Amino acid sequence: MRNLPGINRRHALAGMGAAAATAATWRPLWAQTVAPITIVINQSPWFDSFRRTVERYESETGNRVELDVNPFAGSLEKQRNSVRANEGQYDILIMNSGWFTEMYAGGFVAPITDIDPGFKLDPKVYTLGDTVYYNAEKKTVTADGKLMSVPVQPNIPMLYYRGDLYAEAGLEAPATFAELEENARRFHEPPQRYGIVQRGARGPHTVAYDFYPYLYGHGGGIFRDQSSGDYTVTLNSPEGREALEYYIRLAREAGHPKTAAMDQAEVVQSIVTGQAAHVMMVIAAWSQMDDPNKSAVVDKVEWAPPPSLPELPTAPGLGHWLAGVAHNVPDERKRAAVEFLRWFQTKEAQLTTAEAGGIPVHAAVYDEPIADEHRYRWMKPLAQALPHAVNIYQFPEASEVIAVLELGLNRAIAGEISAVESLNGMADEIHAIMDKHQYDTSQIEPL
């Protein structure tokens, strides 16, 4: 996904220092005194919750963390430059779903258990499609690989819908695509309100990311089986056609007339101003719904897992963030980075993240009383959806495939080409990319 625009800035977070360390009478293992570390991270809607969690770590341990905060693309550029230097500037890399495999496959991230063989991932922490692991021999993310990272933000798209409209109509949250379409048509009263507003603009990872829940929820996919190394391109399957035609039909008959130009900011704006009955977008935007300074629908928006076909589970695409330790920093900084990750993954730390407005990666937090509070009414639906989240890409050249999808999907939504032309064309280009990089690839019969 593409994050909302941010501002370059650098935060030096001062810890409590030696005085607090001397005053402490007891510390758990993860609170031991270690070297200062620097984390490179993106500016995003969830950044403030991460910052506040880091501040608690500093307060509890006396250890120091510096955050280098950048826009989405700037963060990736800094990471790429740092990991290729003789000695890295950054100890912890906050990696997006679009590039973490590049860091794994390139050897730019040190396996956590190579740094500390005693490190254990908390069994209640979501592994998010096993993307925290990497098997170098198989060249893919799989649970039999080494532990490479700890989840930071389990970002997935969720269905946002107007709970007040549903209550007035006596409706339940839609679980199937048919129900979503029926309800979107019901509440479609343009130009005052659109039944659904979808993202259709072309960008770094824009329309493709929002299309994934529709594609996988219809039983489609881009490849046959990445985990086993089978990169047969299946995008232009009958299921893929049904998904794309559904997406386009919703836009044309119950959606915004300028869907092909809609980006994340416009989708957010449509729901907070009351102009959309439904949107499907990342859960990271949840706090804006009840912010009286931004929203005209405070307390009126509810959440549900993305719909799917009746016989299939929900299938939100992962747009998550992972924290890995850079390979080219001194050992003392690597160990310090691991100590932070050991603390960060705990239920207590993740409860702090939730209370600060972030999305916790620890499953037990979703069973805490906080999840029953009205402000956090998104938590239980999210907990239902997270186990079904789909890792879309398991290879480092994913950006090349994403670029193909961005153009092809945008053109189809804009009406420049048909869904069939779009899918067949994208499948040909994706196959050429995978063949160029010598993956085991082939194509199915075109539509």
pLDDT in tens, 239-286: 999 999 999 999 999 999 999 999 999 999 999 999 999 999 999 899
Same-domain status, 82 and 123:
yes
Other Cβ atoms less than 10 A from the Cβ of 383: the count is 17
Indicate whether 162 and 229 sit together in one domain: yes
446/424 Cα distance (integer angstroms): 6
Q: Are residues 265 and 174 in the same domain?
A: yes
pLDDT in tens, 124-158: 999 999 999 999 988 889 899 999 999 999 999 99
- pLDDT band of 368, cuts 50, 70, 90: very high
Q: Quick check: 86 pLDDT over 90?
A: yes
What pLDDT shows up at residue 2? Answer: 32
Q: Do 271 and 236 share a structural domain?
A: yes
Looking at residue 140, what is its pLDDT?
Answer: 85
pLDDT level of residue 28 (50, 70, 90 thresholds)? very low
State the Cα–Cα distance between residues 278 and 195, nearest whole angstrom: 6
Are 243 and 341 found together in one domain? no
Number of independent structural domains in the chain: 2
**Residue type for 165, please?**
L
Does 56 reside within a domain? yes
Within a domain: residue 188?
A: yes
Q: Same domain, yes or no, for 172 and 147?
A: no
- Please give the single-letter amino acid code of residue 230: D
Which secondary-structure segment (H or E) carries 65? strand 65-70
Query: Which burial class, exposed, middle or buried, applies to 37 when counting CB atoms under 10 A from its CB (0-12, 13-18, 19+)?
Result: buried
289 and 361, same structural domain? no
Average pLDDT over residues 348-373: 95
CATH number of the domain bearing residue 218: 3.40.190.10
Lowest mean pLDDT among 75-79, 96-100, 304-308, 417-421: 96-100
Within a domain: 443? no
Q: Are residues 232 and 133 in the same domain?
A: no
pLDDT of 20: 35
Question: The pTM is what?
Answer: 0.87
In whole numbers, what is the pLDDT of the chain averaged over residues? 92
The answer on 337 and 432 residing in a single domain is: no
- Same domain membership, residue 72 and residue 131: yes
Q: Do 421 and 373 fall within a single domain?
A: no
The CA-atom distances, in angstroms, between 410 and each of 248, 393, 429 are 10, 20, 15
Let me know if residue 444 belongs to a domain: no
- Name the residue range of residue 276's domain: 157-315+395-436
Say how many residues make up the chain. Answer: 447
Higher-pLDDT residue of 85 and 16 is: 85
What secondary structure does DSSP assign to 214-262, as a single string?
A: HHHHTT--SEEEGGGTEEEE-TTSHHHHHHHHHHHHHHHHHS-TTGGG-
Q: Highest-confidence range of 10-14, 20-24, 289-293, by mean pLDDT?
A: 289-293
Does residue 191 sit within a domain? Answer: yes
In the three-class reduction of DSSP (H, G, I as helix; E, B as strand; rest coil), residue 320 is classed as coil
Q: Tell me if residue 173 falls in helix, strand or coil.
A: coil
382, part of any domain: no
CA distance 180 to 321: 29
Residue 76: inside a domain, yes or no? yes
pLDDT of residue 72: 83
pLDDT digits (tens, 9 = 90+) for 196-234: 999 999 998 899 999 999 999 999 999 999 988 899 999
pLDDT value of position 22: 30
How far is 306 from 68, CA to CA, in rounded Å? 34
Q: Flag whether 199 is in a domain.
A: yes
> Do 27 and 126 have their domain in common?
yes
